[in-house]
Amino acid sequence: MPRGTLKPLLCLTLSFVSIALTRAADAPKKRDISLDDLAKIQRVGAPVVSPEGDWIAYTVSQIDAKEDKGQTHLWMVKWDGSARLQLTYGKEGASAPRFSPDGRYISFLSSRPGPAKGTQVWVLDRRGGEGEQLTAITDEEIESYSWAPDAKKLLLTLHPKSEPDAEEGKPPAPPKPIVIDRYHFKHDVVGYLRDDAWSSIYLYDLATKKAEKLTKDKNVEEEDAVWSPDGAWIAFVSNHDPDPDRSNNTDVFVVAPKPGSDARKLTTTTDPDTGRLAWSPDSKSIAYTQGAELKLLEYSQARPAVVTLDGKVSYPAAKFDRSVREPLYLGDRLSYLVADDRNQYPAEVELVGAGVKRLVSQQGAVVGWDSAGGHTAVLYTNDSAPAEVYALENGGLRKLTSHNDGLMAELNLVSVDDVEFKSKDGTDVHGLLTKPASFKTGSPVPMVLFIHGGPNGQDEHSFDFLRQWLATKGYAELNVNYRGGSGRGQDYSKAIAADWGDKEVQDLLAGVDKAVALGVADPNRLAVTGWSYGGILTDYTVASTDRFKAAISGAGVAAPMSFYGVDQYILQYDQELGPPWKNLPLYLKMSYPFLEVDKRIHTPMLFMGGTADMNVPLLGGEQMYQALRSLGRPTELVVYPGQFHGFTRPSYIRDRYERWLAWWDKYLKPPAQTPAAETKK
């Protein structure tokens, strides 16, 4: 360097440092995430690519705190990211966006006021103008719909209404008695199932405004209907066993697009062949997923499958041992979304051969996608960002929407670490560990073991409000992908069949041991919590150890026999466990948290549930609460009126967070010590 340049360069460097320090001082100070942010987070979903590939329509849902409900509207973003606009407004909301085949119109479902009441298909001209109601379905409810390739008809999946609409100007008639004549007679949200309450496929003629049933079949469920690209066929999924309620033997069918047609079954296995379905571009074959045998109903790992119009079945990537869903043709290449060890990604599968090509390498979860016009859009989320729409191209992701970027930029967010450990019997188990931002090595913190439900699911690298919120309260959170869950192969998933509360508990406790060994979790300040099967495992866990200082069981059950015929899982009871009168010892064995509550459970327990939950009814929490209350042990029951298994009322969701934290704080955080001088006063 020439000597003469040293002083000017030094001055320039100091100027840059001064500017940088000034900007840093002016930058807004980040804050902790709070419960108020629940209403600020925008939940992006349902991306649909236009036929020419230039636009993506999608939904954005957000909490309306004043109305105490969620609100969903349609948005659209240009493929190159140059434009983004909101399409619908109003209190009624909108969902299920679809482009017309020529790309000129965007249709959607909405219950906004119109000529016909209830949820109907509406349509917007992309060039501008008001929405127009496209359907007038009065006696049934629209579950889903799609456009015919020639745009002359809609394909509707309809379900009978539980009660007819009230006549104009008259009070609603009193509800009629529900007459049950089905083996499977109840389901969460839907309620009690009548013997005529089956979903069926209809063709809706846009010229005549007339809906006609597509097939001749009755008393069967028809789902996942989709047109072939050439318009010659409609494929769908249905179970045509003598009593469809008693099996999971769904098959892929095709039918000509004419009312009253005979459907033709393409698949013949006794395993579930199911959707969503994806036609090949040449309209000669259909991609789907195939599950496991009936006794593994709740542990079934779906694998890729393809059937031709003449019924020939093949299995792409036949040796790939991971669960897949949502097949999609990217051009002539078949791909699926894959759940794989704490991540979820799209992968191309070889139609002939065992090869699988992962299409996204980064950590995180692709939770939805669509493709058209040579372009593919995905919904992607990771530990630090809620789902947004991205373009999938050139082996990577390009961000198209940023609904939550501003909010996330305000927040102090923490990272989520992978943890791996051995269970008691030597099984390799994986999980996630989240530490507070203030965590210092050598200073263990209180930790919540939060157990996922299912059990056939996984904790993954997606944005999780609870993890981030707990971190601001000084808690670590541990998530364990215990045996019974997905992401680790079929054998891992089916390991707990007819053996609840055994291997899962071993895996969970091994994860706690790992967190303690890492110096993160304070062994004297541990809590365990879960919802659904996570609530069930909370009961099993505290009945297996006294190491937890507090527990919260949400929508759980500790005595499976008491739920036979009470919840929606009758097929699982009969096929996996056998009916109680044939296998009483197994039911008694799996009921140890309730039947041995006096000897086994000393942990303070909070129980929660919704009064309308038919998935895991409130009965399970009530039984355990009553047992502990009868024994005089610390317990509490919180009941949420009118809530299903998944809560929908925002104020109740917030209340649940508040009660969770209060319960953990009560038992895991010691009260502030009063100084000696003040005590004397």
Domain CATH number, residue 575: 3.40.50.1820
pLDDT in the model for residue 3: 40
Q: Supply the DSSP symbol for 38.
A: G
Structural domain contains residue 297: no
Domain extent for 439 = 412-668
Closest to 455 (Cα-Cα) out of 425, 413, 417, 487:
487
Structural domain contains residue 655: yes
Asked if pLDDT for residue 7 goes beyond 60, the answer is no
pLDDT in the model for residue 1: 36
Closest to 301 (Cα-Cα) out of 316, 315, 322:
322
pLDDT tens figures, 592-632? 999 999 999 999 999 999 999 999 999 999 999 999 999 99
Structural domain contains residue 13: no
Q: How far apart are CA 475 and CA 469, in angstroms?
A: 9
Residue 347 phi/psi, 5-degree rounding, is: -145, 140
Contacts 24+ apart (CB under 8 A), 512-516: 512/447, 512/449, 512/478, 512/547, 513/421, 514/419, 514/421, 514/431, 515/419, 515/433, 515/447, 515/476, 515/478, 516/444
- pTM, 2 dp: 0.92
Q: Tell me the pLDDT band of 353, cut-offs 50, 70 and 90.
A: confident
When divided into structural domains, the chain yields a total of: 1
pLDDT in the model for residue 671: 67
pLDDT in the model for residue 524: 97
Q: In this predicted model, which residue has the larger pLDDT, 129 or 299?
A: 299
Q: How far apart are CA 179 and CA 103, in angstroms?
A: 46
pLDDT tens figures, 63-88? 999 999 999 999 999 999 999 999 99
Match 């394909």 to its residue by tokens.
155
C-alpha distance across the termini of the chain, in Å: 73
Asked if pLDDT for residue 16 goes beyond 50, the answer is no
**Identity at 369, one-letter amino acid code:** W
Q: How far apart are CA 591 and CA 558, in angstroms?
A: 6
Which token pair is 140? Answer: 């049934």
Structural domain contains residue 487: yes
Q: Tell me the pLDDT band of 197, cut-offs 50, 70 and 90.
A: confident
Angle value at C-alpha 65, between 60 and 66, nearest 5 degrees: 120
Q: What is the mean pLDDT of the chain?
A: 93
126-130, 185-189, 239-243 — which is least confidently predicted? 126-130
- Looking at the DSSP bridge assignments, the partners of residue 123 are 107, 132
Structural domain contains residue 595: yes
Asked if pLDDT for residue 128 goes beyond 80, the answer is no
Asked if pLDDT for residue 53 goes beyond 50, the answer is yes
Alpha carbon distances (Å) from 421 to 339, 482, 520, 530, 551:
20, 11, 15, 21, 23
Structural domain contains residue 630: yes
Asked whether 220 and 155 are in contact (CB, 8 A), the reply is no
Asked if pLDDT for residue 25 goes beyond 70, the answer is no
pLDDT in the model for residue 674: 43
Span 15-19, average pLDDT: 45
Asked if pLDDT for residue 422 goes beyond 80, the answer is yes
Span 642-668, average pLDDT: 98
pLDDT tens figures, 198-240? 999 999 999 999 999 999 999 999 999 999 999 999 999 999 9
pLDDT tens figures, 248-275? 999 999 999 999 999 999 999 999 999 8
Span 563-577, average pLDDT: 97
Which token pair is 678? Answer: 């003040």
Structural domain contains residue 627: yes
pLDDT tens figures, 171-195? 888 888 989 999 999 999 999 998 8
Residue 649 CA, chain-centre distance (Å), reads: 17
pLDDT in the model for residue 27: 59
Structural domain contains residue 123: no
Asked if pLDDT for residue 22 goes beyond 70, the answer is no
pLDDT tens figures, 463-475? 999 999 999 999 9
Asked whether 322 and 340 are in contact (CB, 8 A), the reply is yes
pLDDT in the model for residue 192: 94
**Cβ neighbours of residue 430 closer than 8 Å, sequence gap 6 or more:** 341, 342, 418, 419, 420, 481, 488
Q: Are strands 323-330 and 333-340 parallel, antiparallel or unpaired?
A: antiparallel
Asked if pLDDT for residue 2 goes beyond 70, the answer is no
